[in-house]
Amino acid sequence: MAKIVLGVGASHSTLMNTHWEETTHKAEAERFRDALYATRERIAAARPDAVILLGSNHFRGFWLDLIPPFTLGVGECNASGESGTPAGPQQVDVALAQHLAAEVIEGGRFDLAFSARLQIDHGQSHAIQYLLAGLDVPIVPLVVNVFAPPLPTFKRCEELALALGAAIESFPEDRRVVVIASGGLSHQLPWPDWRDPHGEDEDFMVQAWLDGRENWADYDVRRRQIIRAAEAAISPEFDNRILDLFETGKAAELAEYTTSELEEAAGNGAQELRTWLMMAAIMKYIPAQRLAYEAIPEWLTGMGVAVLDPATRPTH
């Protein structure tokens, strides 16, 4: 039988790869990177047979021609490889992935999209790069739409996570499963609501999201320039409050946020916290251990790492 042995929430930023030398908050950056490496060792010590990898869409695998709220990879998986992240085919635990899809969909628990040829971006591959380096463990990728409104509600994310948790535990073969959530914490990306763009840059971004399926790299230089020109909008107070909820086993309170409330509090990038909520729900909301929190303006993001370990539940 499958057993869930560890949960991880970790922020991501491709600017770690492309602008490390230009990062002036070097001590903060090194502490965050070291926390990722320490988490990788925790994952290795858990001896996983498979990793459920929850991440977001950044318009390199999903486009405005079709945006499901949730898409489970059940076959081939390719990473786009942008900004120094892993590229090409990724190993998938197809048997576990197809079991999850069947249990969740055919069991009437949730209407979930799936893909037998999924393309992921740094919403998942950043975690593969830093948290799974050298571990040779297959993934089951789940892409959550957090950047193309209307977005799935936090409550709906929780409902899917609970269904997935039950489906994991019903898998009849032996599997030690780690659940990783990639994304967050507070940050504001210079990305428009595609339904109402304003100005030349926002028009360009929406056009890239419409037309980029076959040629996303053609748009990437200007897209990168727009992102690099953005000013950081990090909220350490919000981030620490969220991490406190995880540490005290109260992460379920995230499910009460609306999309607009969260964006007002922590920026559009904080919508990625849907993946953290889902991970915590799968882990049955056990208390977490905070390994790092750093506000790094050069990366535009509040960078956090937390681990949920059933074997060493923290006491508070």
With 90 as the cut, is the pLDDT of residue 73 above it? yes
How many CB atoms are located within 10 Å of the residue 205 CB? 23
pLDDT tens sequence across 293-313: 999 999 999 999 999 999 986
Between CA 106 and CA 235 the distance in angstroms is: 41
The CATH number that applies at residue 37 is 3.40.830.10
Q: Is 60 exposed, middle or buried (0-12, 13-18, 19+ CB in 10 A)?
A: buried
> What percentage of the chain has pLDDT greater than the value 90?
88
Mean pLDDT of 197-218: 90
With 50 as the cut, is the pLDDT of residue 50 above it? yes
194 versus 217: which is more confidently predicted?
194
pLDDT of residue 214: 82
Would residue 129 count as lying in a domain? yes
pLDDT tens sequence across 6-26: 999 999 999 999 989 999 999
Q: How confident is the model at residue 316 (pLDDT cuts 50, 70, 90)?
A: very low
- Enter the DSSP assignment of 69: S
With 70 as the cut, is the pLDDT of residue 191 above it? yes
Active centre residues (catalytic)? 122, 187
Would residue 225 count as lying in a domain? no
Q: How many domains does the chain have?
A: 1
Would residue 214 count as lying in a domain? no
The two tokens of residue 248 are 């005290």
- What b-and-e string marks burial along 138-175, b requiring 16 or more CB atoms within 10 Å of the CB? bbbbbbbbbbbbebbebeebbbbbbbbbebbeebeeeb
Per DSSP, the residues of 221-287 read: HHHHHHHHTSPP---HHHHHHHHHHHHTT-GGGGGG--HHHHHHHH-GGGGGHHHHHHHHHHTTT--
Would residue 213 count as lying in a domain? no
H/E stretch holding 163 reads helix 154-169
Would residue 211 count as lying in a domain? no
List the domain range (segments joined by +) for residue 91: 2-189+230-311
Would residue 160 count as lying in a domain? yes
Mean pLDDT computed over every residue of the chain: 95
Cβ atoms of 244 and 232 closer than 8 Å: no
Would residue 283 count as lying in a domain? yes
pLDDT of residue 61: 86
Mean pLDDT of 243-250: 98
> What percentage of the chain has pLDDT greater than the value 70?
99
Q: Is the peptide bond before 291 cis (omega within 30 degrees of 0)?
A: no
Mean pLDDT of 264-283: 97
Would residue 195 count as lying in a domain? no
Query: CA 131 → CA 135, 224, 278, distances in Å?
Result: 9, 25, 18
